[in-house]
Amino acid sequence: MPVLRESLTTNAPAPSAVQAPQGSPPDPTAAVAGASAPRLATVPRRQLRIVLTGALLAMVLAALDQNIVNTALPRMAGDLGGLAHLSWVVTAFMLTSTTTTPLYGKLSDIYGRRQLFFVAILVFLAGSLLCGIAQNMGQIIAFRALQGLGAGGLLTLAQAAIGDVVSPRERPKYQGWFTGTFALSSVAGPLLGGFITSALSWRWVFYVNIPVGAAALVMIAIGLRKRPSGQARPVDYPGALLLTGATTALLLLLAWGGTEFAWLSLPTVGLVAAVIVLAGLFARQELRAPEPLVRLPLFRNPIFARGVSVSGMMAFAMLGSTVFLPLYFQLVFGMDPAVAGLMLLPQVCGMVFSSILGGRAVTRIGRNKPFLLAGLGLEATALASLAVFAFIAAPPAIFLISMGALGIGMGMGMPNLTTTVQNAVAHRELGAATGAMSFVRSLGGALGVATSGTIMTARLAAAASGSDLHLSALAEHGVQALAQLTPAQQAGISAAYRTALTGCFLLSGVVMSVAFVLVLGLQEKMLRSDIDDTPAR
């Protein structure tokens, strides 16, 4: 029976040199990675199912955690105090999980996916356990940062692990399962978090990660074999530190700008300067390092460069709009949180349906650009229609059409974009390429939320100027404050939010349209049928 291996090395003579990605010079590490374009052994179906199960469980951990915790935040603040620092529970996790994604990707290329999976899951579970026993808000913030150090590897390693055992031609079928699982977990998170917090305690939203993570560890341990030890390769730790510093400065700017300090202020200038200087030093380090964290010549490959850029734009557009949709349904339509959550079901169902069926279709024909274009086109149209429906104050039922189209587009776009990027690079750089895409996607999402939040705040301030709208009470006490207002004031706030969120939806539609144009001019490569070390040409 064939044996699953993570190793890319081979004992066979090297018939030819490894081809570098299109548009990039030969990789000096080719002699280390294996100079023969080796092919991995065929994976038995049973073993593939085990790897897939472990990777999907890791995806569940990452997708569920943030949504479950967000639901429990009010109860957490009530028990531990420190309401003023509540936002740091989210910010600390976001900082560490985002900054570690490229490092996990690169280290997994050097040491193998199996070892890094163990590190990521064990660190994540240790952070979860410590969060559950925390006694004050400072401890929660510190342990959430530790949890994020593990979470940074979950999504990246899950997608890269499948790339180790499934050829690009077959990969869309399995990437569809990832997209569907992510969609279901994202919706189940708030519901599960509310139930656990009410029935047990907010501490159990962290404890629930432990059995899921333990199951993922077992599956990964069984499915992925330890790769043979090879020649040691240096790790670009200076580059990792510089990238961490630049990313931290950028995320703090996005998190604090317009809230802790004004956008036009000295702290803003300082953080912008820090981002520019540290990013420049990082680029310089990557060009000099013998084993760079992100090999910058990869960006000469137009498929890789555009794919990574589009992934950031997609995250910008999606999070910049959908994060405010439940708020729109509650403030404008007067729905309670449970009903507002149910409004997202067409999106989730569309994602699950199109990702699974679309993945099978792509695997059958070996071409994914038509599906990627159709997905991005549907997303752009759906987001633009949300802006129109919000502007004309359309009834709730009309929004369900846009939500369904948005989900179908996401299910076709997300998995095929991942496959496109992975198909464009050599297998020895699969982890680094996947990590770079996850990193840019995280930054794009953070930038989308911050930009949409700024638009919403500015429009609300303009609407409240010279009126008797009690927007400050709404910001402080949430949707519950509406009950204390007169019908006229409630109508005024509803109109103000409808106008503000229309701008957010419109911006997301424009960004997604630009992403569609970028993919439209992208050269199409047939998906490879072998797991080897040669990118598609």
Which of 82-96, 221-235, 375-389, 494-508 has the largest mean confidence? 375-389
What does the alpha-carbon distance between residue 304 and residue 170 come to, in Å, rounded to a whole number? Answer: 19
Rounded CA separation 252/290 (Å) = 31
- Give, as one character, the DSSP assignment of residue 467: S
In tens, the pLDDT along 221-232 reads 887 766 655 556
Beta bridge partners of 261: 257
The model's pLDDT over 15-36, given as tens digits with 9 standing for 90+, comes to 333 333 333 333 333 333 333 3
Q: What is the pLDDT of residue 116?
A: 87
pLDDT in the model for residue 15: 33
Extract the tokens encoding 171. 């990969």
Tokens of 66: 């943030």
| Per-residue pLDDT at 498 | 80
Q: Could you report the per-residue pLDDT of 312-340, keeping only the tens digit for each?
A: 898 888 877 777 777 778 777 777 766 77
Residue-level pLDDT at 381: 92
Rounded to the nearest angstrom, the gap between the alpha carbon of residue 324 and the centroid of all alpha carbons in its chain is 17
CA 37 to CA 21: how far, in whole Å? 13
pLDDT of 9 > 90? The answer is no
Q: Which residue has the tokens 């794009």?
A: 444
Dihedral-angle region of residue 23 (phi above 0 means left; psi in -120 to 50 means alpha; beta otherwise):
left
Of the given ranges (342-351, 402-411, 452-461, 528-537), which has the lowest mean pLDDT? 528-537
> Tell me, what's the pLDDT at 18?
31
pLDDT (tens digit, 9 = 90+) per residue, 293-307?
Answer: 777 887 888 888 888
More confident residue, 447 or 180: 447
- Express each pLDDT in 99-126 by its tens digit: 888 888 888 877 778 888 889 999 999 9
Average pLDDT estimate for 378-396:
89
CA distances from 66 to 26, 76, 197, 337, 347 (A): 41, 14, 14, 18, 19
- What DSSP designation does 208 have? T
Report the pLDDT value the prediction gives residue 115, as an integer from 0 to 100: 84
Which of 222, 213, 173 has its CA nearest to residue 60? 213
Which residues are CB-contacts of 84 (< 8 A; sequence separation ≥ 6)?
Answer: none
Which residue intervals of 171-236 are DSSP H helices? 171-199, 204-207, 209-223
Share of the chain above pLDDT 70, in %: 78
Global pTM value: 0.73
Q: How remote is the C-alpha of 451 from its chain's centroid?
A: 17
Amino acid identity of residue 61, one-letter, is L
Mean pLDDT (the chain, rounded): 76
